[in-house]
Amino acid sequence: MPSTEPSSTLRQRVTSTRNVTIATAIAVALPAAYAFHSQLAGDQSVFLLLLAVAVGVPSAFDGYGPDFESRWNCVFATLWVSSAVVVAYVGSFVAGVDVLNVSPFLASILAFLVGFLGPMAALSAVS
């Protein structure tokens, strides 16, 4: 007989792989955005970095990602993909500003497109 206790339902909802993915992506995005803001760029770039990691990674896993058997597999996969998105975003931003000599605003848009659309394209190609 299934439990109808609110605490049981809440625990199942909080520990679902979708919510674990969201929480892990946010946990990676916040310190990455702080470090990015303090070292490289202004507010609009930080917002797009947060959007790419905290929204893009869970959306990519939700739409194209694998079904995880364990929450720990979900956490590790989200950590890996979120870190890759941060590296891709920062690398694209630095390349845009230093190599292409575009404004930080345009470089942040370029980096967002690479960081947000990149994981979705990669996961859709794999699945």
Residue 116 has, within 13 A of its CA and on its CB side, a CA count of 15
Is 26 within 8 Å of 57 (Cβ atoms)?
Answer: no
Domain count, the chain: 1
Mean of pLDDT over the chain: 85
- Comparing 13-17, 56-60, 92-96, which segment has the lowest mean pLDDT? 13-17
Q: What digits encode the pLDDT tens for the residues 59-68? A: 888 877 777 7
Q: Region 48-63: what's the mean pLDDT? A: 88
Q: Region 88-106: what's the mean pLDDT? A: 92
| DSSP conformation class of 65 | P
Residue 100 structural domain: 6-126
Q: What digits encode the pLDDT tens for the residues 8-43? A: 676 676 778 888 899 999 999 999 999 999 998 777
Is 78 within 8 Å of 20 (Cβ atoms)?
Answer: yes
Q: Is residue 1 part of a domain?
A: no
